[in-house]
A and B are shown apart, each in its own frame.
With several copies, the nearest count.
Chain A
Amino acid sequence: MEQQQRVYLDHAATTPVHPEVVKTMVPYFTEYFGNPSSFYQTGREARKRLEEARDRIARVFNADPGEIYFTACGTESDNWAIKGTALSRQKQGRHIITSAIEHHAVLHACEDLEKQGFELTVLPVDQDGLVSPESVRGAIREDTILVTIMMANNEIGTLQPIKEIAAICRENKVLFHSDTVQAGGALPIDVKDLGADMLSFSAHKFYGPKGVGLLYMRKGLRIANFLSGGAQEKNRRGGTENVAGIMGMAKALELAHEKMELESRRLITLRDYLIQQLLKRVPHTRLNGHPEKRLPNNVNVSFEFIEGESILLMLDHYGFECSSGSACTSGSLDPSHVLLAIGLPHEIAHGSLRVSLGQSNTREQMDKLVESLEQIVSRLRDMSPLYADYQKKKLTQDDK
Chain B
Amino acid sequence: MRQKMQYSDKVMDHFMHPRNVGEIENADASGTVGNAKCGDIMKVDLKIEDNVIVDIKFKTFGCGSAIATSSMATEMVMGKTVDEALQLTNKAVAEALDGLPAIKMHCSLLAEQAVKSALKDFFEKTGQMTPEREELFKSLDDDAHDH
List residues of chain A with CB under 8 Å of any chain B CB. 44, 47-48, 51, 55, 65, 305-310, 313-314, 317, 331, 333, 335, 345-347, 350, 382-388
Contacts and interface: CB of A to CB of B under 8 A. Distances in A.
B5 A314 contact: no
Interface stretch (B33-41, B115-123, B134-142): B33-41
A308 B61 CA distance: 10
B6 A44 contact: yes
A386 B18 contact: no
A307 B60 CA distance: 10
Contacts, number: 78
Given A55-B2, A309-B64, A350 B36 contact: yes
The 3 closest A-B pairs by CB, nearest first: A347-B36, A309-B63, A385-B59
Contacts of A65: 1-2
Given A310-B67, A314-B16, A317-B16, A55 B60 contact: no
B59 A384 contact: yes
Nearest to A305: B61
B64 A347 contact: no
A51 B60 CA distance: 32
Given A44-B6, A307-B62, A386-B61, A347 B37 contact: yes
B6 A307 contact: no
Most-contacted residue by chain A among B7, B12, B38 (CB, 10 A): B38
26 contacts: A47-B5, A48-B5, A48-B6, A55-B1, A65-B1, A307-B66, A308-B63, A310-B15, A310-B62, A310-B66, A310-B67, A313-B7, A313-B64, A314-B16, A345-B36, A346-B38, A347-B36, A347-B61, A383-B21, A383-B60, A383-B61, A385-B41, A385-B42, A385-B61, A386-B36, A388-B23
Given A307-B40, A309-B63, A346-B37, A331 B103 contact: yes
B138 to A, nearest CB: 25
B105 to A, nearest CB: 12
Contacts of A331: 103
B1 A313 contact: no
A195 to B, nearest CB: 22
Interface in B47-64: 59-64
Given A346-B37, A385-B41, 15 more contacts: A307-B40, A309-B63, A310-B62, A310-B63, A310-B66, A313-B64, A314-B15, A333-B38, A346-B39, A347-B39, A382-B21, A383-B21, A385-B43, A385-B61, A386-B61
A355 B64 CA distance: 19
A307 B16 CA distance: 15
B32 interface: yes
Contacts of B32: 385
Given A44-B6, A51-B5, A333 B39 contact: yes
Contacts of A333: 38-39, 103, 106
